[in-house]
C-alpha cells in the first residue's frame, strides 16, 4: 500500500505572510460588500438584499476566525501550551463547520416555510445585486482557493464562501425565473437544494477535524503496520503502549515503549535511532518518542495501543 508521507502538498505552498494578506483582503472585500448591500437594501426596501448582506457578514466572520487562528497557530510552544498552538487552526475549522451546519439547517427551515407562504421577489434590483454579490464571492473564493487545499482551517472558511456563492447564484436563477415566468416554487426549491449541499459538505468534512482533536491516528497510516515495522527492526523484542496521533493535518507523532532483546541492551541507542529513522522514512512520522525497556524488566502482557 502506498504511503502518504504528507510531503506532496507542499509544492504550491503559499508563504504565511502573503497567505495572511490574502485572507485579510478577502475579509475586507466581504465587509465592503456587506456595507454596500445594507445601504442598497435600506434604500430599495428589499429584505432579500439585507439578507444577502448578512450572508456576506457571516463570510467575513468565518474568514476572520480563520485569519486569527492562522496567527495564533504560528506562536511557538510555551509553558502553558507545550504542544504549541498549531491546533488553533483545527479548532477554528470545527467552529466554522459548525456554523455552516447551522446555516444549512436554517436555510432548509426557511425553504420549507416558503413553500407554504411564498414571498414575492422584489424585482430586477435583487437579481442585479445578487450578481454583484456572486462576483465578490467568487473573488473571495479565488483568494483562498490555493490555500484551502493545504489547510483544514482555510478550507472551512472557503466552504462558507462557496455556500455563499451558491446562495447568490440561487437568488439570481430563482429571481429571473420568477420575474419571467412567475414560478414562485423555484426559490424555495433551489434553497432546499442549496441547504442539502451545504449540510453534505460540512458534515462530510467534520469527522476528519474531530478525529484530529480526538487525537485519532492519522487516516492515511495503518497503525498496525507501524507497530509491525518497529517490531521487525533487529534488536526489538516487542512494542507496546503505543500512541499514534496528529498535531495538525500534516504532522504525525508516535510515542511507544520498545522492549530491547536480551543481550542487545548495549546497543539500545542505535536500535532507538533505527526505529525512528525507519518510521520517518516509511510513514513520514516526524516526531517519535520511545521509552526503551530492558527485556528483564519489560512490562508483561501489556496492550499494544494506549496505556492501561
Domain harbouring 131, CATH code: 1.20.1510.10
* Residues 153 and 243 occupy one common structural domain: no
**3-state DSSP assignment of residue 244:** strand
Give the C-alpha separation, 291 to 246, whole Å: 19
* Residues 155 and 274 occupy one common structural domain: no
Q: Which of 213, 248, 278 is the last residue of a domain?
A: 213
**3-state DSSP assignment of residue 305:** strand
pTM for the whole structure: 0.83
Q: Residue 67 in contact with residue 27, Cβ under 8 Å?
A: yes
Q: Which of 195, 213, 231 is the last residue of a domain?
A: 213
- pLDDT tens digits for 67-113? 999 999 999 999 999 999 999 999 999 999 999 999 999 989 988 98
Residue 137 lies in a domain: yes
Residue 146 lies in a domain: yes
Place of cell 482551517: 153
Per-position pLDDT tens, the chain of length 308: 444 444 444 445 567 777 788 888 888 888 887 887 777 777 766 666 677 777 778 888 998 999 999 999 999 999 999 999 999 999 999 999 999 999 999 989 988 988 887 766 667 877 888 888 888 888 888 888 888 888 899 999 999 988 888 888 888 888 888 888 888 888 888 889 999 999 999 999 999 999 999 999 999 899 999 999 999 998 999 999 999 999 888 889 999 999 998 888 888 899 999 999 999 999 999 899 999 988 776 666 678 888 76
- Residue 168 buriedness (CB in 10 A; 0-12 / 13-18 / 19+): buried
* Residues 96 and 154 occupy one common structural domain: yes
* Residues 135 and 35 occupy one common structural domain: yes
Give the C-alpha separation, 162 to 40, whole Å: 23
Q: Count of domains in the chain?
A: 2
Alpha carbon distances (Å) from 243 to 25, 85, 216, 298: 41, 20, 9, 18
Q: Which domain holds residue 255?
A: 223-294
Own/partner pairs, 27-36, CB within 8 angstroms, 24+ separation: 27/60, 27/63, 27/64, 27/67, 29/136, 29/139, 29/140, 29/143, 30/56, 30/57, 30/59, 30/60, 30/63, 30/136, 30/140, 31/56, 31/57, 31/60, 33/132, 33/133, 33/136, 34/60
* Residues 154 and 201 occupy one common structural domain: yes
Residue 252 is part of a domain; what is its CATH number? 3.30.70.1350
* Residues 194 and 228 occupy one common structural domain: no
What torsion, rounded to 10 degrees, do the Cα atoms 259, 264, 270, 272 define?
Answer: 0
Give the C-alpha separation, 143 to 156, whole Å: 14
* Residues 234 and 201 occupy one common structural domain: no
* Residues 35 and 129 occupy one common structural domain: yes
The secondary structure element, H or E, covering residue 294 is strand 287-294
Sorted by sequence, the CB contacts under 8 Å of residue 9 that are 6+ apart come out as: 149, 150
Place of cell 493545504: 150
Residue 300 lies in a domain: no
* Residues 13 and 151 occupy one common structural domain: yes
* Residues 107 and 173 occupy one common structural domain: yes
Residue 2 lies in a domain: no
* Residues 28 and 155 occupy one common structural domain: yes
Residue 209 lies in a domain: yes
* Residues 188 and 126 occupy one common structural domain: yes
Sorted by sequence, the CB contacts under 8 Å of residue 78 that are 6+ apart come out as: none
In degrees, to the nearest 5, what angle opens at C-alpha 85 toward C-alphas 200 and 241? 85
Q: Which of 182, 213, 244 is the last residue of a domain?
A: 213
Amino acid at each position: 500500500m502506498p504511503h502518504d508521507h504528507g510531503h506532496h502538498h507542499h509544492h504550491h505552498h503559499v508563504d504565511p505572510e502573503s497567505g495572511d494578506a490574502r485572507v485579510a483582503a478577502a475579509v475586507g472585500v466581504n465587509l465592503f460588500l456587506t456595507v454596500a448591500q445594507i445601504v442598497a437594501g435600506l434604500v430599495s426596501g428589499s429584505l432579500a438584499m439585507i439578507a444577502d448582506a448578512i450572508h456576506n457578514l457571516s463570510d467575513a466572520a468565518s474568514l476572520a476566525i480563520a485569519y486569527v487562528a492562522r496567527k495564533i497557530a504560528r506562536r511557538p510552544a510555551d509553558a502553558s501550551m507545550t504542544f504549541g498552538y498549531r491546533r488553533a487552526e483545527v479548532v477554528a475549522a470545527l467552529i466554522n463547520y459548525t456554523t455552516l451546519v447551522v446555516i444549512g439547517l436554517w436555510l432548509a427551515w426557511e425553504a420549507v416555510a416558503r413553500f407554504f407562504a411564498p414571498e414575492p421577489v422584489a424585482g430586477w434590483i435583487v437579481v442585479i445585486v445578487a450578481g454583484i454579490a456572486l462576483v465578490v464571492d467568487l473573488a473571495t473564493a479565488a483568494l483562498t482557493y490555493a490555500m484551502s487545499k493545504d489547510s483544514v482551517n482555510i478550507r472551512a472558511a472557503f466552504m462558507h464562501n462557496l455556500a455563499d456563492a451558491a446562495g447568490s447564484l440561487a437568488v439570481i436563477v430563482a429571481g429571473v425565473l420568477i420575474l419571467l415566468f412567475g414560478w414562485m416554487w423555484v426559490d424555495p426549491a433551489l434553497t432546499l437544494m442549496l441547504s442539502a449541499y451545504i449540510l453534505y459538505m460540512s458534515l462530510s468534512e467534520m469527522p476528519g477535524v474531530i478525529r484530529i482533536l480526538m487525537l485519532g491516528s492519522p487516516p492515511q497510516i495503518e497503525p498496525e503496520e507501524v507497530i509491525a515495522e518497529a517490531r521487525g527492526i533487529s534488536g526489538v523484542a516487542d512494542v507496546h503502549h503505543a500512541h499514534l496521533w496528529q498535531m495538525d493535518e500534516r504532522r504525525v507523532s508516535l510515542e511507544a515503549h520498545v522492549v530491547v532483546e536480551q543481550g542487545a541492551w548495549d546497543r539500545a541507542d542505535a536500535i532507538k535511532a533505527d526505529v525512528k529513522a525507519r518510521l520517518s522514512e516509511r510513514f513520514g512520522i516526524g516526531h517519535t518518542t520511545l521509552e526503551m525497556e530492558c527485556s528483564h524488566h519489560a512490562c508483561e502482557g501489556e496492550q499494544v495501543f494506549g496505556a492501561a
